[in-house]
Structure 1
Amino acid sequence: MQRLLATALLAALLPAAPLGAAENLPPVEVFAPVPCLACIDWAEHLRQNGFSVTMKETADMAALKKRLKVPAAVESVHTARVAGYFIEGHVPAEDIKELLKEKPKARGLAVPGLPAGAPGREASNPSCERGCTVLDSTPEQREVRRELYDTLLVDLKGQTRIFNRH
Structure 2
Amino acid sequence: MFISMDGTSELGGNEMRWVLITRYLVALALASGVAAQQSPALARPLDQIHVIKGVGCGCCTAWVEYLREEGFEVTEEEMLPADLIQQKIAQGIPADMVSCHTARAGDFVIEGHVPAKDIRRLLSEEPDVIGISVPGMPYGSPGMGPEAEREAYDVIVIGDDGSTEIYGTYPAGS
Q: CA deviation at 1:25?
A: 3.4
- Map of 2:166 onto structure 1: 162
Asked whether the equivalents of residues 47 and 71 of structure 2 are also in contact (C-alpha less than 8 Å), the reply is no
Scaled by the length of structure 1, what TM-score is found?
0.72
Give the letter aligned to residue 118 of structure 1.
S
Which residue of the other structure, out of 132, 149, 152, is the alignment partner of 1:148?
152
Give the letter aligned to residue 138 of structure 2.
P
- Map of 1:39 onto structure 2: 60
* SS, match of residue 114 in structure 1: coil
Q: CA deviation at 1:65?
A: 0.4
Scaled by the length of structure 2, what TM-score is found?
0.69
Give the letter aligned to residue 110 of structure 1.
S
Distance 1:49 1:144 in 2: 18
Gaps of 5+ in 1: 1-21, 124-142
Q: CA deviation at 1:92?
A: 0.2
Distance 1:62 1:80 in 2: 13
Q: CA deviation at 1:144?
A: 6.1
Percentage of pairs with the same residue: 42
Q: CA deviation at 1:77?
A: 0.5
1:8-35 per-residue CA deviation (whole Å, 9 max, x = no partner) reads xxxxxxxxxxxxxx57433111001112
Distance 1:52 1:116 in 2: 25
Gaps of 5+ in 2: 1-40
* SS, match of residue 150 in structure 2: coil
RMSD of aligned Cα (Å): 1.6
| 1:65 equivalenced with 2:69 (yes/no) | no
Runs of 4+ with deviation above 2 angstroms: 22-26
Give the letter aligned to residue 51 of structure 2.
V
| 1:51 equivalenced with 2:72 (yes/no) | yes
Which is richer in helix? 2
- Map of 2:116 onto structure 1: 93
* Larger RCO, structure (CA 8 Å, separation 6 or more): 1
- Map of 2:51 onto structure 1: 30
Aligned length: 126
Change (3 A) 1:41 1:105: same
